[in-house]
Amino acid sequence: MNILNILDEIEKVDGEIYERLSPRRKAMKDFFNVGKKISFAALPLALGSMFQKAYGQSNPTSVTEVLNFALALEYLEWNYYNRALTLATATYIPTGAPRAAITTIRDHERAHVDLLKGALNITGADSYTFADFDFTAGGIFGDVYTNYQTFLKVALAFEDTGVRAYKGQAPILKGNAVLTTALQIHSVEARHASHIRQMVAANVTGASGLKPWIAYTGNGNDTGVTAADGVYAGEQNTTQAGIQITAINGTAVTQSQAAESFDEFLTGSDVKKIANLFIPIKKLT
């Protein structure tokens, strides 16, 4: 997403954004135009400061907690992909399309990190570095740095977790302009998940039938790794808005079809349990 469009996007759902930021609409418009000429790297920090002033009185504690929570997950993903690309050889992440795809996803995650840091007005070094993570999860994924198939399975678990995590936190951000940005990140994470699924289907033994979306197979765990069961908990749900989909309007809909037609959210505590498998030093609380 072009960060220079954020104010315009927020204005679509909050027509008073410029009045919140400044009583002089034209002054803010002028500032925004100047922003197009300043350092791209400095914009997240400027926007973060403005967000805090404009929305600081709108449930600040919970919103800040959600953004910090999201930032930790983005650090998790960015460090995972960045480290893999640093270590990777042609026998780990193949050159060509696979490596290009992972590089693109890695760069997206970095953009998410920087945007969230800006929204939180965080300056200086990153709060998490590679040393804070254990992507083997205590040995559960012991060959994650050498086995391309394991790498893809863990990547799939991370992306599916991210999608469900953002959805689960959306109600807390309701009514806050930051929700727009969170939902834009959510949609990108969903595209990541879909692409990783296609890579898993093409490269992981026994996964050729994997769909681009979470499907109900057994417990719904598409990685085939028991340790990732929590990522898919609840995805077998077939009731939406109090309506049992398998019998909707007298239509014969299978349990699998009903379950995969909707994505479920993960609670913050559920996501933290998953993430903490990989963050032994700075566990999320």
| Cβ atoms of 84 and 136 closer than 8 Å | no
Q: Which domain holds residue 107?
A: 43-213+263-275
pLDDT in tens, 176-215: 667 777 777 888 898 999 999 999 999 998 888 888 887 7
Asked if residue 12 belongs to a domain, the reply is no
Exposure of 273 by Cβ count < 10 A (0-12 exposed, 13-18 middle, 19+ buried)? middle
Is residue 122 pLDDT above 60, yes or no?
yes
Asked if residue 254 belongs to a domain, the reply is no
Is residue 8 pLDDT above 80, yes or no?
no
pLDDT in tens, 214-273: 776 555 677 777 777 888 888 888 888 888 888 888 888 888 888 888 888 888 888 888
Averaged over 90-114, what is the pLDDT?
A: 90
Asked if residue 129 belongs to a domain, the reply is yes
For the domain that residue 54 is a member of, what is the CATH number?
1.20.1260
Lowest pLDDT segment from 55-64, 145-154, 159-168, 203-212 = 55-64
Q: Mean pLDDT of all residues in the chain?
A: 77
Q: Looking at residue 59, what is its pLDDT? A: 40
| Cβ atoms of 183 and 170 closer than 8 Å | yes
Q: Could you give the number of structural domains in the chain?
A: 1
Asked if residue 137 belongs to a domain, the reply is yes
pLDDT in tens, 37-48: 444 444 444 444
DSSP state of 56: T
Q: Looking at residue 88, what is its pLDDT? A: 66
Which residue would you say has higher pLDDT here, 281 or 49?
281
256 sits in which H/E element = helix 255-260
Asked if residue 89 belongs to a domain, the reply is yes
Asked if residue 37 belongs to a domain, the reply is no
Asked if residue 171 belongs to a domain, the reply is yes
Question: For residues 164 and 176, what is the distance between their CA atoms, to the nearest angstrom?
Answer: 20
Residue 14: count other Cβ atoms within 10 Å of its Cβ.
19
Asked if residue 116 belongs to a domain, the reply is yes
| Cβ atoms of 133 and 278 closer than 8 Å | yes
